[in-house]
Amino acid sequence: MSTRTHGLVVGYDGSPEAARELCLQVSERMGIPSARIRFSFQLEQVVEAGQLLAATLVDAYVARSLPAFRGAAAEDVAAVRRYARMPGAETGDRFEELLVECGVHDGTDGDGLLPEIQRFAFLDFLTELVRCRQIAAEPDPVRRAELERRPDRPDPGIAAAEASAAGRWTDLTYCLPGVELLPGHTAVMLGSGLLADPTVLIAAASHELGHQVLLSSDVPGAAGPLREPLTDLYAVLHGFGIAHANAALDEKTLGTPTVETFGYLGEHAVAEALAAYRFRQHQLVRDGPLLPHWHQALDPEPRARFVARLEELIGGPPTVLGW
C-alpha cells in the first residue's frame, strides 16, 4: 500500500484548477474512473442555493403549482402548510447571485452546478416533507409538541459557512421531479475552505470517492449508521492513511476554545488502522523492516501511536525484534 502523498502535491497552488487535478490523481490512485465524476469546490454556495430553492419548493407543494406536485395527497399538503419551517421564504437577489457564482447564469455554455443545487434542494424539501408528515401523524399531543420544538434547520447562510470546510458526494443519476437526469454521473463537492491545505483536500477527496465505491457495493454497513467512518477506513486502506492521519487535527487550533478536527475516525484510529494493515502486509510480503520508512511522514502523535500499535501486535518493539 502506498501511503505517500508528496508526489500528488508537488506544484499545488491552491487554485480550483490545481485542486481538480489533485482530485483526479486521487481518483486514479484509488482505481475509480473519473470521466463521469463532477468535481467542484463551491459546496457552500451549492448548499445555500439548495436551501433557498427548497423553500420555494415548499410553497410550490402547498400551492400544487408544479406538475410533479399536483397529485400530492391532501393530508400531506395540509401537514406541510401547517408545520413547515420554511414556507413563504424569499429567495430574492441572493439566489440569483448564487446561481451566477455556481456558473448557472454566467453567460457560458452548460448548466454549471445546477444539477447539484437541484439535488440538494429536493433532498432538503423531502426531508421537510417527512418531518411534517411525522408531526401530523403523531396522535400524542405532548409528543407532537416535542417534534415541533426540535431545533430548526440552520439558516442557509450558517449552513453555507459550515459547508466551506466539508465535502459531499451525491449520485446525479437519480431522477427527481424537475431534475434533469445525468445518467451515470456523480458529484464530489468540496468546500472552498479545503483548497488551502492539500493534505486536507486529499483526505476529503479520498473520503468522498470512497462513497462512490461503497454505496454501490454489498459491503456490510456501507449504507448504515457507520457508513462515514467505514468510508474513512476505505480511503485509509487504499493509500491515503497519512493524509487522513495528518488532517485529523488542526494543530493551529490547539490551546484555543475550539479545537478543530477533520474526518470521522480521528488520528488515533487512523494510526491504528495503518499499523494493523502494515502488520498484515508485512506478514504476507516481508518487504523489508516491519517499521516502514513512510511512517516518518506521519505527524508526531499519529506516528507514535502507529509504532506503539505495531509493538502491541508483535509483542515488542519492531526494531528490537528485527521485524
Q: Phi, psi at residue 167, to the nearest 5°?
A: -140, 155
CB-based contact 32:242 (threshold 8 Å): no
The least confident of 13-17, 144-148, 255-259 is 255-259
DSSP helix/strand/coil, 188? strand
Tens of pLDDT along 186-197?
A: 999 999 999 999
Distances (CA, A) of 304 to 102, 275, 297, 312, 318: 43, 11, 12, 12, 13
Give the single-character DSSP code of 189: E
Position 1 pLDDT exceeds 60: no
Strands laid side by side in the 167-171 sheet: 37-40, 186-190, 167-171
Position 10 pLDDT exceeds 80: no
| pLDDT > 90 in the chain, percent | 51
State residue 180's pLDDT score.
62
State residue 149's pLDDT score.
85
Q: How would DSSP label each residue in 104-170?
A: SSSSSSS-TTHHHHHHHHHHHHHHHHHHHHHHHH---HHHHHHHHHSPPPPPHHHHHHHHTT-EEEE
State residue 204's pLDDT score.
94
Position 5 pLDDT exceeds 80: no
Position 225 pLDDT exceeds 60: yes
State residue 4's pLDDT score.
44
Tens of pLDDT along 276-313?
A: 999 999 989 888 889 999 999 999 999 999 999 999 99
State residue 217's pLDDT score.
80
Tell which wins on pLDDT, 130 or 263.
130
State residue 317's pLDDT score.
63
Cell of 94: 441572493
Tens of pLDDT along 133-188?
A: 999 999 999 999 999 888 766 677 777 777 777 899 998 876 566 566 688 899 99
Kindly report the average pLDDT of the chain as a whole number: 85
Position 40 pLDDT exceeds 50: yes
Average pLDDT over residues 72-83: 94
pTM assigned to the model:
0.85
- How does residue 260 score in pLDDT terms, banded at 50, 70 and 90? low
Cα separation, 84 vs 67, whole angstroms: 21
State residue 161's pLDDT score.
73
